[in-house]
């Protein structure tokens, strides 16, 4: 007696992408509810199953939907915003300012719709995403009907949806609880990267992922400088460093891994980490070529991702699969490396394994969810077709196939595209709404073209951002008590420096432009000799973020860059409306006070003749930490003999301008 099924897909070249790469030509697939009931040869399947509905696939390829294992879907709205730029200029000059200004629940909903439309058109049924307002991304994705792993990005900086990492973490916890058992959405935890998180953040994220047994998404070793900086700061590469923060206790999905050595590959393997190769993004940002062949040879599950469209500039997995095969051949100097079957496996079954959802999707096997696509290989660019070997059809898909060959897409048993028509999205509506955003962003950036910061960025400045700083400054009559206090127990001096600082502040008619400081430091040796000089340019934002008791401040945004040009050059380039000079003699100490690191500056402002100031500073990345450090700073000032109640709220330049 035949078994009944909801839907029988017949007369297809069925690539199951199972472990044996079983291929049925012609083959058929039976779908019941959200799942695959059976897969097999066409004739046998027709005999064994009676279906409520049958679809003749007309000889098309029927295969698992592609898995885009790393992306940031709402960034699709920023596609083509700025290209061919240095990473710092692109990120600090364009992406971050635009995200700060525009990213909202409405923005991410539209961006997710736009991305989902493109993903469906290119044969993707499942993706892994990390961005902001992830709740809205998840809801939109579920409405469209795609499968996704979603993680709210956690950073040490303020983000468009959180003032501090504690807020992001709290939101992540609620997000996980709400979505834990959804049929399409797998919630996750997404600390951005080692270099954008603190150890505390990494540990907290790992603990959260373990607590709820959800995946943890992060970026690992994307650039050579990330590795260099990590070694400089922590004396070890990125992988062992984050291992120390317990990251690998979670089910990790690691994007990029461009600069990992054999030892790190081994560590990733040992801890069951899934890796995502993002070839276009790595090439376009000049990050390098990931050692994919060595990773695969070791047995690591490596998926393929597009990354966000801001660095790609599309979500076309066909391109990424082909590039993955191409790059592995060139990187290993071996044209047999990463053959078509393996490349396609990475984008399907292995991608699902990397995402830790191999039990759900990634291949056409009885019991897995019905996530599948139809691909028409009859186009001219696929002509002719050689059938001599089983490998032929995989090679055709990988080396000649195009995303536009995808005609039908089903996720979880539901069609989301049929005969190239999207069933759950209104393309025209998305396009026109996206155009409205583009016009707004264009206008915002065009206006900003006048701004000091953008001009700084435009000449390659703004390497480093200092967002948050606890800072308090007090005018003192006599420096002697300070020097004496530093000899006392309670303050441990880690390092001291002495320099002359010559600051020139540019000011502008529009006070929102903030100030630009050209700073020349002469380093003074204990014997009074000048041992060197440093020239820096700092853009100081116009407003403080927040103010605490006793005028202990979280400072404004600061962009610092080496000043490679002369003061004259910057004066001509920025055309300031005002200029002020300050000369001071500074003694600077890095100290440990009650277990916390502070910088103490003892400034003798010689020109104008203002006398002495004592400044206490500490970096911070969280609100709670800032409050704690503000309290400590007050205690430290008292210990140094400076009355905190006489704190000066302004920067030196503001005192001058007063």
State which of positions 88-127 bind its own copies (CB under 8 A).
Answer: 90, 114, 117-118, 121-122
Q: Of 532, 526, 531, 506, whose CA–CA distance to 517 is shortest?
A: 506
- Which one of the spans 7-15, 355-363, 387-395, 509-517 is the region binding its own copies (CB under 8 A)? 387-395
Structure tokens at 632: 């400590």
Give the number of other Cβ atoms within 10 Å of residue 498's Cβ. Answer: 16
Strand, helix or coil for residue 291: coil
Q: How far is the CB of 394 from its own copies (least distance, A)?
A: 9
b vs e for 135-152, b when ≥16 Cβ sit within 10 Å of the residue's Cβ? bbbbbbbbebbbbbbbbb
Question: Does 500 contact its own copies by CB under 8 A?
Answer: no
How many residues sit close enough to its own copies to count as binding (CB under 8 A)?
Answer: 75
Smallest distance from its own copies to CB 25, Å = 14
Q: Please check whether residue 162 is in contact with residue 168, taking contact to mean a CB–CB distance below 8 angstroms.
A: yes
> What are the backbone angles phi and psi of residue 241, rounded to the nearest 5°?
-65, -50
334 binds its own copies (CB under 8 A): yes
Name which of 37 and 77 has its Cβ closer to its own copies: 77
Token pair for residue 195? Answer: 């270099």
Segment 424-483, which members bind its own copies (CB under 8 A)?
427, 430-431, 434-435, 437-438, 441-442, 445-446
DSSP 609-637: T-EEEEEEEEE-SSHHHHHHHHHHHHHHH
Nearer to its own copies, 142 or 400 (CB): 400
Over the range 601-631, which residues count as b (16 or more CB within 10 Å of their CB) and which as e? bbbbbeeeebebbbbbbbbbbbbebbebbbb
Task: Rank residues 334 and 572 by Cβ distance to its own copies and give the closer one.
Answer: 334
Q: What is the closest distance, in whole angstroms, from the C-beta atom of residue 285 to its own copies in the complex?
A: 5
557 secondary structure, DSSP code: P
What is d(CA 658, CA 654) in angstroms, rounded to the nearest whole number? 6
What is the smallest separation between the CB atom of 312 and its own copies, expressed in angstroms? 7
As measured in angstroms, the least distance from the Cβ of 319 to its own copies is: 7
* Minimum distance of its own copies from residue 348's CB (angstroms): 18
Exactly one of 395, 524, 560, 633 binds its own copies (CB under 8 A); which one?
395
Q: Rule CB under 8 A: which of 231-270 touch its own copies?
A: none
Binding to its own copies (CB under 8 A) within 505-544 occurs at none
Which range touches its own copies (CB under 8 A), out of 190-198, 276-284, 553-561, 615-623?
276-284
Give me Rg for the CA atoms of the chain. Answer: 29
CB 420, min distance to its own copies, A: 12
Q: Which is nearer to its own copies, 189 or 328 (CB)?
A: 328
Contact (Cβ atoms closer than 8 angstroms) between residue 625 and residue 632? no
Shortest Cβ distance from residue 267 to its own copies (Å)?
26
Which position among 2, 263, 392, 643 is part of the footprint of its own copies (CB under 8 A)?
392
Q: Is 380 a binder of its own copies (CB under 8 A)?
A: yes
- DSSP 8-state class, residue 256: E
**Does the footprint of its own copies cover residue 284 (CB under 8 A)?**
yes
List 96, 170, 210, 283, residue binding its own copies (CB under 8 A): 283
Minimum gap (Å) between residue 441 Cβ and its own copies? 7
The rounded distance, in Å, linking the Cα atoms of 603 and 584 is 6
Least Å from the CB of residue 306 to its own copies: 11
Binds its own copies by CB under 8 A, chosen from 4, 378, 426, 450 = 378
- CB nearer its own copies, residue 314 or residue 627: 314
Among 95, 204, 337, 626, binds its own copies (CB under 8 A): 337
**Nearest residue (CB) to its own copies, 285 versus 633:** 285
Near its own copies in 38-97, by CB under 8 A: 76-77, 79-81, 83-87, 90
Distance between CA atoms of residues 487 and 554, nearest Å: 28
Pick the closer one to its own copies by CB: 309 or 412.
Answer: 309
Among 325, 452, 560, 633, binds its own copies (CB under 8 A): 325
Closer residue to its own copies (CB): 55 or 258: 258
User: Among residues 55 and 77, whose Cβ is nearest to its own copies?
Assistant: 77
Please say whether the dihedral angle defined by the alpha carbons of residues 191, 192, 194 and 199, taken in this order, is positive or negative.
negative
With CB under 8 A as the contact rule, which of the stretches 66-74, 128-136, 294-302, 383-391 interacts with its own copies?
A: 383-391
- For its own copies, give the closer residue by CB, 179 or 394: 394
Full 3-state SS string of 8-25: EEEEEEEECCCCCCCEEE
Min separation Cβ 517 and its own copies, Å: 27
Residues numbered 182 to 221 that lie near its own copies (CB under 8 A) are none
Closer to its own copies by Cβ: residue 337 or 540: 337
Tell the smallest beta-carbon distance from residue 113 to its own copies (Å). Answer: 10
**In the chain, count of helices (H) and strands (E)?**
22, 29
- Burial of residue 130 (number of CB atoms within 10 Å: 0-12, 13-18, 19+): buried
Task: Out of 177, 366, 387, 484, point to the residue binding its own copies (CB under 8 A).
Answer: 387
Contact call for residue 321 and its own copies (CB under 8 A)? no
> Cis bond leading into 384, ω under 30°?
yes
Peptide bond just before 407 cis, omega within 30 deg:
no
Which of 212, 326, 523, 599 touches its own copies by CB under 8 A? 326
Q: Which is nearer to its own copies, 378 or 496 (CB)?
A: 378
Q: 103 by DSSP, 3-state: which?
A: coil
Task: List the one residue out of 284, 378, 278, 236 whose CA is nearest residue 71.
Answer: 278
> Could you tell me the smallest distance in angstroms from the CB atom of residue 628 to its own copies?
40
State the sign of the Cα–Cα–Cα–Cα dihedral 91, 93, 98, 100.
positive
Q: Residue 391 CB: number of other CB atoms within 10 A?
A: 14
Q: List the beta bridge partners of residue 147.
A: 126
Looking at the Cβ atoms of 88 and 465, the one nearer to its own copies is 88
Name the residue among 286, 291, 317 with its Cα closest to residue 304. Answer: 317
DSSP-based helix, strand, coil % in the chain, nearest 5: 40, 30, 30
Q: Interface with its own copies by CB under 8 A: which range of 295-303, 381-389, 468-476, 609-617?
A: 381-389
């Amino acid at each position: 007696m035949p078994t009944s099924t909801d839907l029988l897909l017949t007369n297809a070249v069925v690539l199951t992408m199972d472990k044996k790469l079983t291929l049925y030509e012609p083959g058929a697939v039976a779908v019941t509810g959200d799942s695959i009931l059976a897969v097999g040869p066409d004739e046998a399947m027709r005999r064994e199953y009676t279906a409520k509905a049958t679809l003749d696939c007309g000889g098309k390829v029927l295969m698992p939907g592609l898995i885009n294992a790393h992306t940031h879907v709402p960034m699709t709205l920023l596609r083509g915003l700025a290209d061919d730029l240095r990473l710092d200029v692109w990120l600090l000059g364009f992406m971050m300012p635009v995200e700060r200004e525009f990213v909202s629940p409405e923005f991410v909903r539209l961006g997710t719709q736009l991305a989902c439309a493109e993903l469906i058109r290119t044969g993707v049924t499942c993706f892994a995403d990390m961005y902001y307002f992830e709740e809205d991304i998840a809801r939109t994705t579920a409405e469209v009907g795609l499968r996704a792993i979603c993680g709210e990005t956690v950073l040490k900086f303020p983000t468009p949806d959180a003032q501090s990492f504690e807020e992001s973490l709290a939101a992540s916890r609620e997000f996980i609880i709400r979505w834990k058992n959804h049929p399409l959405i797998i919630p996750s935890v997404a600390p951005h990267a080692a270099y954008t998180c603190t150890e505390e953040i990494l540990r907290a994220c790992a603990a959260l992922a373990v607590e709820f047994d959800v995946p943890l998404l992060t970026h690992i070793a994307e650039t050579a400088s990330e590795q260099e900086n990590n070694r400089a700061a922590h004396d070890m590469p990125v992988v062992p460093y984050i291992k120390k923060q317990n990251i690998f206790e979670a089910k990790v999905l690691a994007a990029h891994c461009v600069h990992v050595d054999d030892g790190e590959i081994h560590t990733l393997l040992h801890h069951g980490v899934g890796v995502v190769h993002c070839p276009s993004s790595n090439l376009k940002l000049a990050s390098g070529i990931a050692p994919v062949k060595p990773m695969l040879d070791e047995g690591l599950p490596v998926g393929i991702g597009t990354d966000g469209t801001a660095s790609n500039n599309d979500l076309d997995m066909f391109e990424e699969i082909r590039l993955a095969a191409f790059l592995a051949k060139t990187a290993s100097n071996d044209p047999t490396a990463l053959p078509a079957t393996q490349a396609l496996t990475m984008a399907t079954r292995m991608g699902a394994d990397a995402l830790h959802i191999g039990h759900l999707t990634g291949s056409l096997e009885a019991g897995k969810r019905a996530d599948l696509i139809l691909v028409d290989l009859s186009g001219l660019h696929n002509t002719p077709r050689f059938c001599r070997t089983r490998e032929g059809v995989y090679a055709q898909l990988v080396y000649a196939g195009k995303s536009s060959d995808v005609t039908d897409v089903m996720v979880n048993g539901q069609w989301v595209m049929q005969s190239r028509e999207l069933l759950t999205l209104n393309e025209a509506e998305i396009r026109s709404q996206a155009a409205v955003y583009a016009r707004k962003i264009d206008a915002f950036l065009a206006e900003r073209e006048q701004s000091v910061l953008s001009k700084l960025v435009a000449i390659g400045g703004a390497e480093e951002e200092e967002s948050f700083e606890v800072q308090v400054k007090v005018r003192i009559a006599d420096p002697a008590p300070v020097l004496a206090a530093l000899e006392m127990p309670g303050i441990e001096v880690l390092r001291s420096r002495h320099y002359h600082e010559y600051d020139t502040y540019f000011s502008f008619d529009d006070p929102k432009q903030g100030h630009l400081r050209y700073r020349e430091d002469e380093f003074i040796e204990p014997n009074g000799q000048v041992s060197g000089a440093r020239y820096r340019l700092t853009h100081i934002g116009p407003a403080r973020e927040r103010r605490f008791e006793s005028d202990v401040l979280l400072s404004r945004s600061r962009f610092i860059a080496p000043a490679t040009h002369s003061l004259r050059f910057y004066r001509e380039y920025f055309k300031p409306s005002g200029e002020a000079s300050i000369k001071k003699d500074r003694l600077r100490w890095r100290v440990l006070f009650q277990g916390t690191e502070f910088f103490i500056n003892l400034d003798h402002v010689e020109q104008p003749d203002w006398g002495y100031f004592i400044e206490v500073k500490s970096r911070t990345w969280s609100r709670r930490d800032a409050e704690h450090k503000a309290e400590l700073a007050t205690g430290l000032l008292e210990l140094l003999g400076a009355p905190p109640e006489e704190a000066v709220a302004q920067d030196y330049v503001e005192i001058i301008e007063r």
